[in-house]
Amino acid sequence: MLLNIYKLKYFYFIVLAFYLIKCIAYNYDDSSYDDEYYDEDGNIILNAVAYADSEYNEIYSAMVNDFNEYAQNNNLKIKIKINVYTNANNKNFEFFATSIESLLIKRLNKYDIYYFDNGYTQKYGPYLLDLKEYLSEDHINMYNKEIVEKSCTYNDKIVGLPFNLAYTVLYSNKILLEKYNKTIPTTWDELIETSKYILEQENNPDLIGYNGLFDESENGICSIYEFIYSFRDSLDSDFPDIRSNNTIKALTYMKKLKDEISSDEVFKSDFAFSMYSLQQNLTVFTKFYSLTYSALDIIPYYMSPLPGYKEGISGSIIAGYNIGIDGNIPLKKLYASLTAFKFLSSKELQRKYFLIENILSGISSFYDDEEICKKVNCEVIKNLQPISRPSSEYYQFTDYVTKIENYVYKFLYGNQTAESVLEQIDYLTKIHYVSINGEKQDSSTKLAKTFFILVIFLSCLMAGLLLLLKSEKYKPYFSYLPTSSWIISILGLIVVVSNCYTTLGPVTSTKCHLYVILLIFGYTLNLIPILHQYIVDLPVEHKIFKWIREHKIYFFLLFILFDCILVSLFSIKIYNVDIIMISEGKNFETCKLRNNSSLFVLMIVLLSYMSVIFFMLIVSYVEWGRQTLVYDIQGFVIAIYSDAFTVFLLFILNFISFKNYLLQYVIRNVFTLIPVITSFIFIYGYRVYMPHRKEKEDENIIQDLKKESNSLTESKNSSVHNSTGNVILKLQNYHNQSKLSNSSINSGNFRSNNSMNDSKNSKT
């Protein structure tokens, strides 16, 4: 047997030695390239992917071939292989875009370099390389800063640079403007006035004043978005708030254009009709995308920026493609990818294809280039006021576009008011949450302020209760616990109630975790002083209970330490923020358990808490018969049951899907406040009321206390002599004895101490 084992070890040694020799030989042999990243010639292979309409089918391949030739001439040992999807069908493009997103999310690194539609920057951004960390400022600053910020940036990361651009512009009919001595309009009012005049003079039913391009494709959302952008207050103003007067005015003018110089049919017409109308000279004014040199030469139209509500204010959608690098790219390929990226985004390559193929570039200096400006109206390009296409992190792009268009078109082509459709768009585009700082005093803001004031009031009320502990009038009624224990217990309630603050404002992972952490520490601080006093009064003699009675501070610290250990488990981030998308309603975010491990951690927290509750209820059962403690015990039991029931419900809330963010807010806060208010009333509140009872009842209490003192002493002595008996039987026996020993007591309600007796006797 031993011989066989040694033979097996020897065999493994030979295999391992052979493997090491092979690895060493591989590392020292430049001709060996078995690595998956290299080809037979030793070139590191970079995989690129792109999508192209038929117009740009060959451009990607041509640029890649230029780089491969450059790399070969300079012995860079890098080669790009590109996969170009060429079907221009929108549905197929959506499939392509979704597939790319899936590859990036799964971090499969199927492709190293991505040419992607700049409308998907927010979708792809989290998974692309931050170019600011790898490219020089000079290289990035070649590109128009505004375009980079609006179409290439995600969360302050530059995740791409423009490969090509297209802008929406206004085409004005040269023949008709010159015929009637009219100028290119710079405001929407001028466009309406000029169109109405020419239409009236021409008296041609086939002549169109303005096409609009408000169709059901992506062009429609672009037209809507840039039209609203043209109604901002000043050149430096941000995009108008969706429910602002500016946006309402924009929609009103949109409908005015349709009704006065166009029609529903024309406004709904698609991309092809707009191109046809330019070629056939069918419109006075047309909104369309920047055209190639050859197309501009054959149509009788001026190209200019789109008008705005005010002169000097405009808006132009940025369309086109960016180039980016996979954020999960292997280190072996990172340097090669950056080298290729610099070439593909270089000024030399961009200029070459700008002049050959009319690919508008994002490099600012080109529009001061004399040779380029002979082929394109550089002044128009420089005066455009670009705005990125709308996008959403929460919806698929097509779904998002369709939803917004449908809402706007209910106003534009239907009978709904601008205010109502903008409200629906606001619900769609925003993540709603409860805040006391809401811009509008709506129901959510009022609700938040109500709870906020209630929490502050309860916190102040409970903190104020601490002052009564020093009052001679109230001091005897708080004698069940030492003053320090009352302070800790009330502080625990204040910590629990402060949980309500975490439900205000945007939902974050930190707030989700803080909510549970505050519950853990709050309930510990609230209950442990009571638990300790329970153990002090417990007539069971055991070395553990004896140690607890003699080491109160250490007992408290052990629970705090245990809580810290529980909280340390939260370092694995048990919660994610999940977005709840509500059709025809208000979207909101909620805390969601990440996985089964998160559930396990939460179960540990719940079970540890319930074990303490269970023990306290057992002791409450034992102490129940003591007449002078009956109100103390009853109050504690009510509070304990309330705590346990509410904590269990809060645990269940993790598995309930709410469809209304206000309902979620109310339920979470109500479940937080109920045990706090219950504990405050039944443990603390009634003690404030007791001094106002009749003097006769107080005298009865004194007599009861004397009897209880004797009874307690006898029962404790009895417990010492029977300490070796069965614990459960002793607990049951004590419960029965306490009831029997107090059978003659007719009244009384809570425990006092010798100081209270002395106080009462001195008065008599």
Query: What confidence tens digit (pLDDT) does each residue in 301-310 have?
Result: 999 999 999 9
**Cβ-based neighbour number of residue 446 at 10 Å:** 11
Helix (H, G, I), strand (E, B) or coil at 725: coil
- CA proximity to 353, closest of 665, 627, 713, 61: 61
**Cβ pair 221, 428 in contact under 8 A:** no
Do 618 and 752 lie in one domain? The reply is no
Do 554 and 620 lie in one domain? The reply is yes
Strands (DSSP E) contained in 560-633 are 575-580, 588-593
Q: Please give the Cα distance from 68 to 340 (Å, whole number).
A: 9
In a domain, 125, yes or no: yes
**Cβ pair 97, 120 in contact under 8 A:** yes
Do 636 and 753 lie in one domain? The reply is no
| C-alpha separations of 731 from 122, 540, 624, 718 in Å | 65, 8, 11, 12
In a domain, 119, yes or no: yes
Do 663 and 601 lie in one domain? The reply is yes
- Cα-Cα-Cα-Cα dihedral sign, residues 477, 483, 489, 491: positive
Do 646 and 526 lie in one domain? The reply is yes
pLDDT score recorded for residue 441 = 61
**Tokens coding 485:** 């224990």
pLDDT along the chain (764 residues), means of 10: 40 43 41 63 92 74 94 94 74 78 88 92 92 95 94 94 93 95 96 96 94 90 94 92 93 96 94 91 94 78 94 93 94 94 95 84 93 87 90 68 89 93 86 79 84 92 81 74 86 91 91 90 88 78 82 89 85 83 82 85 86 80 55 72 83 86 91 87 74 55 46 44 50 52 39 40 40
Interval 371-429: pLDDT, tens: 888 888 899 999 999 998 887 666 666 777 888 899 999 999 999 999 999 988 888 87
The number of distinct structural domains making up the chain is 4
Contacts of 757 (CB under 8 A, 6+ apart): 702, 705, 706
> Which residues are 36's β-sheet partners?
none
pLDDT score recorded for residue 693 = 60
Do 610 and 682 lie in one domain? The reply is yes
Q: Which amino acid is at 702?
A: I
Entry pTM: 0.69
Helix (H, G, I), strand (E, B) or coil at 722: coil
Domain endpoint, select from 661, 676, 692: 692
In a domain, 468, yes or no: no
Q: Which range marks the domain in which residue 711 is found?
A: 696-763
Do 700 and 747 lie in one domain? The reply is yes
Do 617 and 644 lie in one domain? The reply is yes
Do 609 and 672 lie in one domain? The reply is yes
**Cβ-based neighbour number of residue 653 at 10 Å:** 15
- Cα-Cα-Cα-Cα dihedral sign, residues 130, 135, 141, 142: negative
In a domain, 751, yes or no: yes
**Cβ-based neighbour number of residue 436 at 10 Å:** 16
In a domain, 537, yes or no: yes
In a domain, 756, yes or no: yes
In a domain, 39, yes or no: no
Q: Please give the Cα distance from 304 to 185 (Å, whole number).
A: 9
pLDDT score recorded for residue 706 = 43
pLDDT score recorded for residue 463 = 86
Domain endpoint, select from 692, 727, 747: 692
In a domain, 507, yes or no: yes
Domain endpoint, select from 343, 373, 403: 373
Helix (H, G, I), strand (E, B) or coil at 343: helix
| C-alpha separations of 106 from 100, 101, 110, 122, 563 in Å | 10, 9, 10, 17, 36
**Cβ-based neighbour number of residue 756 at 10 Å:** 18
**Environment class of residue 143 by beta-carbon count within 10 Å: exposed (0-12), middle (13-18) or buried (19+)?**
buried
- Helical (H) or strand (E) element with 594: none
Q: Please give the Cα distance from 41 to 474 (Å, whole number).
A: 92
Q: Provide the residue count of the chain.
A: 764
Contacts of 263 (CB under 8 A, 6+ apart): none
Do 542 and 663 lie in one domain? The reply is yes
Dmax over CA atoms of the chain, in Å, equals 120
pLDDT score recorded for residue 626 = 52
pLDDT score recorded for residue 50 = 92
Do 125 and 55 lie in one domain? The reply is yes
Do 721 and 685 lie in one domain? The reply is no
| CATH number, domain containing residue 128 | 3.40.190.10
3-state secondary structure 445-478: HHHHHHHHHHHHHHHHHHHHHHHHHHCCCCHHHH
